Amino acid sequence: MRSTSLIFGAIAVLAACFGASLKSRSGDPANANYLQKQDAETPIDQKKLVVLEAVRAPQDLGERAMAHARTLVNLGPRHSGAVPTEGYSKQLDFITAELKRSGVNAVRDTWTDRRELVTFTNISAVIPGKRSERIVFSCHHDTKCAKGHKDTEHNFAFAGANDGASGVALLLALAPVLVQGKHDATIELLFFDGEESMDWDWNNAARALFGSKHFVEQHRDAELKSGAPKIAAMLLLDMVGRKDLHIQEELYSTARLRTLVFSAAHSCGHATHFFRGAEAASDDHRPFLDVGIPSIDLIDLKDNPHWHKPTDTIDNLSAVSLQIVADVVLTALPAIEREYLLDPR
C-alpha cells in the first residue's frame, strides 16, 4: 500500500525481486479503473457517532493472533515471484490448515499474471449466514520483497510482522469467532496475494494489488453471468498490530463505514487508537471501491516508523493492539449488516 503523500514523490525503480522488466499496466483496459486517480473524501465528523453496543472479542484472541504472527514471521520472506520463497509456500499451507481448524473450508485460487508471468494465489473461505449477500473481511498475505533492488537502501532482511503478518494473524484468530456467531450476512474471508508493488516504488499500483484486482474481476464476471451473491461491504485489515497502535482515517474508504468503525471504537473505549490522523492510502480496497462496493481500510500507515523497514519485526507487534482491533471489528459488524444488507449506500 502507499499513502498519497508518498505516491507523488515516488521515483520509478527497476524491479529485481522477480527478474521482470518494468512494464506499465496503464494500457490494459481491464485495469484502467485501478489506475485512475480517485479523489479522497473529507474526514468524518467525529462528533456525529452512532450508538453501538460494544462486542468484546474473546479475552485470548489477541494472544492467539500474536502466536499466528510469530509463526508467520518465523517462515521468513513470504512472496511469490519467478522463484517463490520457501516461506511463501509454507504460509499458504498454514493459512489453509488454520481455517480448516476453525471449521471453515479454504479454497485456493491460483493464476498466472499474463504480463508479469508470475503465479499468485488468493485464499478464500465462506461462512454461511442467513442471507446470501456477503460481507468480506480481507488482508494480504504477501510481504514486500526487500532484496535485489538497485538502491542498496532497499535491500535488507524484512520480517513483515505488521505489514503482512498482522492482518493474516488477526483474520485467522477472528475466523472461529465468526464461525460460531450468528450473522445475517454470509461472511467471506479473503487472503490476497500480490498486494505489494513488485517495484520498490508504488507507481500508481501499476505492478501491485494483483490479488484484489483479480478477485474483483472474477467476482464481477460471476455476478453478471450467473447471478452470484453480491458483496454488500468489504473490510480490509492491513497493518493492525503495532505496539503504538494508530489506525488512521483512510480517506478513500467509504465515509459511512468510517463513521461506523469510529463509532465502534468509541463504544469499546478504544477511540484513542483510531482516526487521530487522516490520510488516503491506496490498498486492496481500491479495486472494490472502483466497482461500487462500499469498503474500508483499517491501516496503521501514517507516520509509522517501521513501514517497509528492517524494524517491522515481531518485537514491535502487540497482542493488546490486535485485541483492540478485534473488539472494534466485532462491534462494527452488526451495524454494517443492518445498514448494508437492508439499506445499501
CA geometry: angle at 181 spanning 270 and 296, to 5°?
45
> What type of residue is 155?
N
pLDDT at 342 exceeding the cut of 80: no
38: pLDDT confidence band, cut at 50, 70 and 90?
Answer: low
Q: What is the pLDDT of residue 39?
A: 72
pLDDT at 21 exceeding the cut of 90: no
Q: What is the pLDDT of residue 266?
A: 98
Q: What integer is the mean pLDDT of 79-95?
A: 94
Q: Is residue 185 part of a domain?
A: yes
Residue 345 CA to residue 343 CA, distance in Å, equals 6
Domain of residue 171, residue span: 2-11+39-342
Q: Is residue 309 part of a domain?
A: yes
Q: What integer is the mean pLDDT of 237-250?
A: 98
Q: What cell was used for 212?
A: 484484489
Q: Is residue 119 part of a domain?
A: yes
pLDDT at 97 exceeding the cut of 70: yes
Q: Is residue 142 part of a domain?
A: yes
For 46, phi then psi, to 5°, come to: -70, -5
Q: What is the pLDDT of residue 14?
A: 32
| pLDDT tens figures, 174-203 | 999 999 999 999 999 999 999 999 999 999
| Cell 508471468 found at | 117
Please check whether residue 157 is in contact with residue 146, taking contact to mean a CB–CB distance below 8 angstroms: yes
Q: What is the pLDDT of residue 284?
A: 98
Residue 319 CA to residue 140 CA, distance in Å, equals 19
Q: Which domain CATH number covers 144?
A: 3.40.630.10
Helix pair 61-73, 167-180: axis angle to 10 deg: 140
Please check whether residue 239 is in contact with residue 301, taking contact to mean a CB–CB distance below 8 angstroms: yes
* Percentage of the chain modeled with pLDDT above 90: 82
Q: What cell was used for 183?
A: 450473522
Q: What integer is the mean pLDDT of 26-45?
A: 57
Q: What is the pLDDT of residue 4?
A: 52
pLDDT at 37 exceeding the cut of 50: no
Q: Is residue 274 part of a domain?
A: yes
Q: What is the pLDDT of residue 225?
A: 84
| pLDDT tens figures, 71-82 | 999 999 999 987
Helix, strand, coil share of the chain (percent; to 5): 40, 15, 45
Q: What is the pLDDT of residue 223?
A: 86
pLDDT at 40 exceeding the cut of 60: yes
> What type of residue is 266?
H
Q: Is residue 58 part of a domain?
A: yes
Q: How many domains does the chain have?
A: 1
CA torsion angle 97 283 288 90 (round to 10): -20
Q: Is residue 74 part of a domain?
A: yes
Residue 173 vs residues 57, 95, 326: alpha-carbon distances, Å = 10, 11, 9
Residue 283 vs residues 133, 253, 296: alpha-carbon distances, Å = 23, 10, 10
| pLDDT tens figures, 262-278 | 999 999 999 999 999 99
pLDDT at 296 exceeding the cut of 60: yes
What does the longest C-alpha to C-alpha distance in the chain come to? 53
What's the N-to-C CA distance of the chain in angstroms? 26
Q: Is residue 16 part of a domain?
A: no
